[in-house]
Amino acid sequence: MILVLLTETLIASLVVAALLAERPASLAATGLAGATGLVAVGLVPALRAALGRAFARHRATALTGGAFAALLLPYFLRGSPYWTFVATMALMYVTIGQGLNLQIGTAGVINLAGAAFAGLGGYTVGLLTTAAGCPSWLALLAGPWVAVVLGALLFVPILKTRGHYLALVTIAFVFIFNTLMNNLEFTGGPQGIKNIPTLRILGHAFTTPPTVLGVRLPAHANFYFLALLMAALTTWTVRRLHDSWLGLALNTLRDDEIAARCCGVSVTQGKLVAFSIGNFFIGLGGSFYALMVGFVSPPDFDFGYSLVMLSVIIIGGVDSIAGVVLGACLLVPLPERFRVLHEYRLLLYGVVIVLTLLYRPRGLWPVSVRRYR
């Protein structure tokens, strides 16, 4: 138990140090410390086995410790609103990634329209709050449903086409969405929708810095806690789905449609259910984004973001729920961390993804084989 808590404390402090390191020297030091840890675990089998056993035995402790660390993170980042914002974005990508992973990883329904579904959520929030005067909380709940309902437009292509053709259909969907948002009048065209009212709890607006237990945190901490709740609920739901008969059925139809059909799995139902549930979470992420930044515009939801979402699940490990969390927490902050490299960072981002695919094709945290006891 002590080993578990010790490891988690170490990881958490490394993360905080890595985020807050300003000078290249301190950044290099934390990077080196992290790399040493990873290499030590990788090269010493005894250590790895001990850690694995400890984490398996004290699951509850490990989860509580992790939750505790996540809750404390804004306290350590209180000096830097910017990094609080980045951490919030990472949690938003956890939510989106879980939705997309259910579609692509678990059910094998290739969806490159993630940005469009997030955009549908975001634009719904924008339109409902600014044009219809609807309360922000209600809009946050409505956004995902719009993504689900409009996702039904793709039901027929999903059932009819597969593989590369399905990829193309979803790419076409993003392009159509983007062109429409850019050119329609009521969505504000290229300007997008501005001044989306923020969330409030009991009169406390989310744009004012909260004071928790006597400590004043940056304003983004409000959204951080909400995003944490959202990501945790999403991950828990997806985890339950993945472990249930539905997850098993989806895995079967992903691996072999005809065999699944022969075993009585409804391919039609499975694909559509997975696609809709996935879109719900992607739309939820998009709605949250709109409320957090206060405006939406077409470039926020262009095809490139579909790729970022896809990279999150591939880097983490396709179909791996823990992998999505890891992928989002690595891929979102890392490019920001390397803002020093500024113009080269997208280039490096592409190179990193290609290298991961070539040398670690199952992801950083591959999905484990299902075990039933």
Partner 1 sequence: MLGVMYALIAVGFTLFFGVLDVIHFSHGDIFMLGAFAGLTALAGLGAAGLGAPAVALALAFAGSILVVGLLGVLAERMCVRPLARSSPLMTLLATLSLGLVIREAVLIFYPRGADPKPFPQLLPAGGFELGGVAIRYENLAILAIALLAMVTVDLLINHTRMGAAIRAVAQDPEAAQMMGVNLDGTVDLTFFIGSGLAAIAGILSGLYYSEIHFVMGVSGGVIGFSAAAIGGLGNVYGAILGGLLFGMVQTLSAALIPRGSEFRDVVAFAVVMLFLIVRPSGILGEKRVERV
Q: Decide the pairing of beta strands 215-216 and 200-201.
A: unpaired
Q: Are residues 242 and 110 in contact, defined by beta-carbon separation less than 8 angstroms?
A: no
Q: Does 44 bind partner 1 (CB under 8 A)?
A: no
Q: Does 311 bind partner 1 (CB under 8 A)?
A: yes
Least CB distance from residue 31 to partner 1, whole Å? 23
Q: Does 22 bind partner 1 (CB under 8 A)?
A: no
Least CB distance from residue 157 to partner 1, whole Å? 5
> Of 11 and 352, which has the nearer Cβ to partner 1?
352
Q: Which residue has the tokens 């059909």?
A: 261
Torsion angle, alpha carbons of 237, 239, 245, 248, to 10: 140
> Of 138 and 180, which has the nearer Cβ to partner 1?
180
> Of 173 and 275, which has the nearer Cβ to partner 1?
173
Q: Does 259 bind partner 1 (CB under 8 A)?
A: yes
117 to each of 114, 133, 175, 248, how far by Cα in Å?
Answer: 5, 23, 12, 25
> Of 82 and 303, which has the nearer Cβ to partner 1?
303
Burial of 20 (0-12, 13-18, 19+ CB in 10 A): middle
Q: Decide the pairing of beta strands 200-201 and 204-205.
A: antiparallel
> Of 65 and 316, which has the nearer Cβ to partner 1?
316
Which listed residue (35, 47, 49, 357) binds partner 1 by CB under 8 A? 357
Q: Does 191 bind partner 1 (CB under 8 A)?
A: no
Q: Does 167 bind partner 1 (CB under 8 A)?
A: yes
Q: Does 157 bind partner 1 (CB under 8 A)?
A: yes
Task: Write the CB contacts of 68 (distance below 8 Å, at least 6 apart in sequence).
Answer: none
Binding segment for partner 1 (CB under 8 A), chosen from 38-46, 235-243, 268-276, 353-361, is 353-361
Q: Does 165 bind partner 1 (CB under 8 A)?
A: yes
CA distance 12 to 2: 15
DSSP state of 364: S
CA distance 110 to 120: 18
Q: What is the total count of residues that contact partner 1 (CB under 8 A)?
A: 43
CA distance 324 to 100: 10
> Of 133 and 163, which has the nearer Cβ to partner 1?
163
- Which helix (H) or strand (E) segment is 211 a member of? strand 211-212
Least CB distance from residue 108 to partner 1, whole Å? 9
Closest alpha carbon to 34 in 341, 337, 355: 337
Q: Does 258 bind partner 1 (CB under 8 A)?
A: yes
Binding site for partner 1 (CB under 8 A): 104, 110, 156-157, 160-165, 167-169, 171-173, 175-176, 179-180, 182-183, 256, 258-259, 303, 307, 310-311, 314, 318, 343-344, 346-347, 349-351, 353-354, 357-358, 361
